[in-house]
Structure 1
């Protein structure tokens, strides 16, 4: 599994527009074979930083999603919304491998 974390710099005056954008992807990523772990919007601290996390079974599956996304008219509409409203100033992506199965100290030999 590979998880993509997107760190957004958003316009805090356009938070509602960004949330509209986010809600689209919360439905679209699972429809395209991924697992969305949610968007995390500003609450305390900086008011212009948001995050989202989503996973695909492999990097190849993520790359296939990216190809399908580029050809999808609804994805184009979501991107056009972000551009039209200016809710996203910039973003960057990182890819990680999650560790999701915990174990006791005895099981781990600690």
Structure 2
């Protein structure tokens, strides 16, 4: 079931990446976070392809935050989502540093 949840969450991100708003991307990322948390709880060994796809989903989220982030709280929430998901062994997205920079200014 853990693998199914991960696949479903990643599929939603992939299917909507061209049209998703920041809010949509945040919802899908929270879904991914829940799936990864469940996978860790049941000791599911994450396949490398899922880690790569998850990192790509986080990159999409970070880019949307940079383009559409209207307030500091929204961008801070994106930062928190990325930090937690990366805590499950997912590589940090390239644009994450820019998100942190945005919060410092």
TM-score by length of 2: 0.29
Greater relative contact order structure (CA < 8 Å, 6+ sep)? 1
Higher strand fraction: Structure 1 or Structure 2? 1
Higher helix fraction: Structure 1 or Structure 2? 2
